Structure 1
């Protein structure tokens, strides 16, 4: 793995443990983004899944998994037809794409649009619409498992694509109670240092007044 070695301290270890899967090393984001035209928060989500560890060997393995996942699942607009065909041929297929939802009142039905997949009439379970309101407010990036059912008709038109599983990558809803619970694991000083570090600064040696700025 190229680049300087990152030395983690007790605060890094604690934040990784308390916010498991949500703490991301920015240097790893830069490494992956070199070869992928992908939104940063998508990369951070994948790195949180596969590289949230101190073990260098595990990080190397995780980076390979991130790159493999992007190559297989991330839908690029110019490959929409190819990916649609993959869903048809395999029956089920997992992708990463931006998902928007709208209500079509003439059918009393919610339809999902998969932006890069280039399809505006994808069936989506209503539980996801109720659970993730941002789907109705501009959409969210998500991991989506699609199923192809060729004989499915809606309003006299074949609509074969179904969302069977949806896992948001962006923060589609915010659990304040969960956030408070995790925050309570830190002292005030630890939390301030974590906030400073999260914006790319090193709090060690800083006076409290400077941290507050």
Structure 2
């Protein structure tokens, strides 16, 4: 067994059971099952709680997978079991849609290719996020045979969402002091699913930037990079509070508010909405959606179809592929030249707080994937969610703020939010020297915003050429 690094030893000693050996998931044998890392870790740690993946633990995991996480080719067998009166307990990503014409709720169960299952109504009161775009959890399923008044139907009779049971934010913040800055940064990188030894400090800071919209309210960013740099990896695998929308058409009902079902869309149900493959993004009604979206990016509220203003704190993250030249730099000075037209509007770009230069990160390969100790993904995701609402960090930013070269309100807001996010990540206990704050919170925040200002001055002469100092 490979000897543990100092940060890994400390993590196990200081945080104990909320840490996991990331290599265990890769060794557990999930095969081609397409499930997020936080689901895989949830399964592994429940069947190998002491961190030892022996034959007994492997058998338990295999039996659990076969019984509760079926493959698509088992769906007919499982439906036959339900028809025969058996009760099944299945781990899946359940979601509920409202059918007003039939006055009913329709449950989607992906592993059974089922989209019209029923649900015991009180479960929606307990777990309203089922009405969003899906919640991973354990569902108890029964079959209700047909009678004269209705067709036969699978019923979701009980549900328990996947969630971390141990979360003490005060303790998390206090125990940050046990680690040197480089140890803490390595621990965060490993918790994200990357191997910290393979990334330089600037590259590590780029990786951590991906977490800022998850830990800080209403941060809007775009990451530009070639294919294969792992832009969506974190958002797919780390947090149940992030929702990934991959390319294609986006509807106003799905994003903001559905006037027919009176259900709030993605922005009201998640901490972060991630638009993957943004270079192929389109809207079903561009004029309406872009107008409402720009208003939301500015104000944090939106209205649609005469509804009252809806307040939300979700951030927006756009991930887009751009071409590079032979020096691995962007081929075009205008970074938005090959993206949808609305992304090239300066009024939209100005509402983006930062541009993350994903082209400075290497392509993902096996050696870059974490194989050491890190926080369990479900725990870490809950910490990021919890710290979003924790007060005091903006006061630290104000106290240590030394930026110069701009008095633009949008620049100030962007840098304050970004720097607050870095502070929460790297110094959650609030104990940071002025020098470390400038280097690891203020500097990356300014650089992210400076790229926005550079694009604005390039695209529109109304925007002056600004050089922000720190």
> Normalised by the size of structure 2, how large is the TM-score?
0.36
Where structure 2 has 5 or more consecutive residues not aligned to the other structure, the ranges are 202-425, 427-435, 445-470
**Structure 2 Cα separation of the partners of residues 121 and 86 of structure 1:** 18
Answer yes or no: is 1:38 the counterpart of 2:34. Answer: yes
> For residues 50 and 16 of structure 1, do their structure 2 counterparts lie closer, same or farther at Cα, with a shift above 3 Å needed?
farther
Answer yes or no: is 1:195 the counterpart of 2:188. Answer: yes
Q: How much has 1:146 moved relative to structure 2? A: 0.8
* Contact 2:95 2:107 (C-alpha < 8 Å) held by counterparts: yes
Q: Deviations over 1:49-68 (max 9, x none)?
A: 222324x3xx3233321121
* Contact 2:83 2:143 (C-alpha < 8 Å) held by counterparts: yes
Question: How do 1:1-213 residues align onto structure 2 when only pairs under 5 Å count?
Answer: 4-5=1-2, 7=4, 9-17=9-17, 19=18, 23-33=19-29, 35-41=31-37, 42-54=39-51, 56=52, 59-60=53-54, 61-151=56-146, 156-169=149-162, 178=167, 180-184=169-173, 186-190=175-179, 193=184, 194-199=187-192, 200-201=195-196, 212=440
> Normalised by the size of structure 1, how large is the TM-score?
0.71
**Structure 2 Cα separation of the partners of residues 29 and 82 of structure 1:** 28
Q: How many residues align?
A: 192
Task: Find the structure with the greater CA-based Rg.
Answer: 2
**Structure 1 Cα separation of the partners of residues 126 and 10 of structure 2:** 36
Moved beyond 6 Å, runs of 4+? none
Q: How much has 1:180 moved relative to structure 2? A: 2.2
Where structure 1 has 5 or more consecutive residues not aligned to the other structure, the ranges are none
* Contact 1:99 1:139 (C-alpha < 8 Å) held by counterparts: yes
Instruction: Find the counterpart in structure 1 of residue 235 from structure 2.
Output: none
**Structure 1 Cα separation of the partners of residues 168 and 103 of structure 2:** 36
**Structure 1 Cα separation of the partners of residues 111 and 84 of structure 2:** 19
**Structure 1 Cα separation of the partners of residues 25 and 87 of structure 2:** 29
**Structure 2 Cα separation of the partners of residues 48 and 99 of structure 1:** 22
Q: Alignment RMSD, CA only?
A: 3.4
